[in-house]
């Protein structure tokens, strides 16, 4: 389950970003997951929730945005977006589709709440 290592990396990035703000708590981490990343959203959320306990991220929410697959039909040449590589070409119905998309994930933004003393 590589989602654990992805969650660790996300939390590491968030903690480094918040380290310049003593007493700050991380409220939300927004990530984008590439269409070809092979990351299960629920497994990533679960790993994030377990790993964040007892840290500056203990109350943080993880927001995941999925990029869509880009397809190009080999039969008719139409380019289109799809949810899954099981989709057929919307123009001609062919399953002879070349799929492309990002295989990675990235932290897009981190929301930090500074504690008021």
pLDDT at 1 over 80: no
Q: By the 8 A CB rule, do 83 and 69 touch?
A: yes
Q: Give CA separation, 17 vs 9, 24, 46, 88, in Å.
A: 12, 10, 22, 42
> How confident is the model at residue 28, as a pLDDT?
96
Mean pLDDT of the chain: 91
Looking at the chain, the whole-number percentage of residues with pLDDT higher than 70 is: 97
**Region 83-99 average pLDDT:** 92
Cβ burial 30-57 (10 Å sphere, 16+ → b, else e): ebbbbbbbebeeeebbebbeebbeeebb
For 113, the token pair is 């709440």
What is the length of the chain?
Answer: 117
Q: How far apart, in whole angstroms, are the C-alpha atoms of residue 75 and residue 107?
A: 37
> How confident is the model at residue 85, as a pLDDT?
84
> How confident is the model at residue 116, as a pLDDT?
45
Whole-model pTM: value is 0.81
Class of domain 1-67+102-117 (CATH, top level) = alpha beta
């Amino acid at each position: 389950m590589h989602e654990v290592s992805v969650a660790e990396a996300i939390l590491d990035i968030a903690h480094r970003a918040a380290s310049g703000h003593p007493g700050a708590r991380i409220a939300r981490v927004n990530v984008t997951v590439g269409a070809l990343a092979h990351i299960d959203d629920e497994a990533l959320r679960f790993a994030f929730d377990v790993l964040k306990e007892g840290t500056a991220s203990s109350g943080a929410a993880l927001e995941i945005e999925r990029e869509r697959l880009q397809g190009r039909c080999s039969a008719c040449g139409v380019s289109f977006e799809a949810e899954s590589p099981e989709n057929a070409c919307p123009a001609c119905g062919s399953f002879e589709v070349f799929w492309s998309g990002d295989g990675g994930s990235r932290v897009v933004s981190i929301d930090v709440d500074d504690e008021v003393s």
